[in-house]
């Protein structure tokens, strides 16, 4: 038997499995907007584990942060990076809306480079909403006109409160709603310009999908 036990991943075989299951909303309060807290648990630095990659072990960080947030009565956590800037949620990228423009951060801020994040940036461009990529501070978050998360599970979800401070009027804002409505139509195949994002399945013959 030639098997060896070590941490050298290049010597391991690769198996891919994809499971598709129906789920409800990631956050029960998603329609009204979620309540978040700035977590005392920091996001790991890119120099330790590459935050832009999805890997099972990294989710321990997310679980600690969201568990702490929910124990304290919030829906979700915002993690800061090693520099004290905002990284992202426990499983979502963050967008700040200010003066009609949206800002999200980038790889250097220890975030996952989310597919939904990229989709939101493209939608914003198509809707003629100014967007930029830049570091986000806690002050930027607290002073935002609107905030929203993006992600595979949360899709586009408004943030209505951060650590007891109401964002905007406490409801999903106009820009968030425009992006959210466009995204929802896109993922349901209702907008031809975004059908390139979709892979269609044969529900009668799932083995052939």
Domain ranges of the chain: 28-192
The whole-number average pLDDT for the span 98-120 is 96
* % residues pLDDT > 90 (the chain): 72
Q: pLDDT band for position 203 (50/70/90)?
A: low
Identify the band that residue 5 occupies on the pLDDT scale cut at 50, 70 and 90. Answer: low
pLDDT band at 4 (very low <50, low <70, confident <90, very high): low
Check pLDDT > 70 for residue 6.
Answer: no
Q: Residue 104 has what pLDDT?
A: 98
The lowest-confidence range among 88-92, 165-169, 204-208 is 204-208
Whether the predicted model's global pTM rises above the 0.85 cut: yes
Please tell me the CATH superfamily of domain 28-192, with its number. D-amino Acid Aminotransferase, subunit A, domain 2 (3.20.10.10)
Dump pLDDT digits (tens) for 120-141. 999 999 999 999 999 999 999 9
pLDDT bracket for residue 29 (50, 70, 90): confident
Catalytic residues, by residue number, are 54
pLDDT band at 46 (very low <50, low <70, confident <90, very high): confident
The stretch 28-54 carries a mean pLDDT of 90
At residue 2, the pLDDT reads 57
Nearest Cα residue to 51 out of 131, 107, 93, 133: 107
| Average of per-residue pLDDT values in the chain | 90
pLDDT greater than 60 at residue 23: yes
178-184 CB contacts, 8 Å cutoff, 24+ apart: 178/127, 178/129, 179/102, 179/120, 179/123, 179/124, 179/127, 179/129, 179/148, 180/148, 180/155, 180/156, 182/123, 182/126, 182/127, 183/116, 183/119, 183/120, 183/123, 183/155, 183/156, 184/155, 184/156
**pLDDT greater at residue 129 or residue 201:** 129
Indicate if the pLDDT at residue 78 is higher than 90. yes
């Amino acid at each position: 038997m030639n098997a060896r036990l070590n941490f050298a991943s290049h010597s391991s075989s690769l198996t891919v499995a994809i499971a598709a299951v129906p789920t409800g909303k990631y956050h029960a309060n998603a329609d009204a907007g979620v309540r978040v807290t700035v977590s005392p648990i920091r996001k790991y630095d890119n120099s330790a584990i590459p935050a832009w990659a999805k890997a099972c072990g990294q989710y321990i960080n997310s679980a600690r942060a969201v568990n702490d947030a929910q124990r304290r009565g919030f829906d979700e956590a915002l993690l800061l990076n090693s520099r004290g800037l905002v990284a992202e949620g426990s499983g979502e990228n963050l967008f700040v809306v200010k003066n009609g423009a949206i800002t999200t951060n980038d790889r250097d801020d220890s975030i996952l480079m989310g597919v939904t994040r990229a989709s939101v940036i493209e939608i914003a461009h198509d809707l003629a909403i100014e967007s930029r990529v830049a570091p986000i501070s806690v002050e930027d978050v607290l002073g935002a006109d609107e905030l929203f998360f993006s992600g595979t599970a949360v899709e586009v979800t408004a943030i209505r409160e951060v650590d007891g401070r109401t964002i905007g009027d406490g409801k999903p804002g106009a820009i968030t709603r425009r992006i959210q409505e466009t995204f929802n139509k896109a993922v349901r195949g209702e907008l031809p310009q975004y059908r390139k994002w979709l892979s269609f399945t044969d529900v009668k013959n799932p083995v052939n999908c």
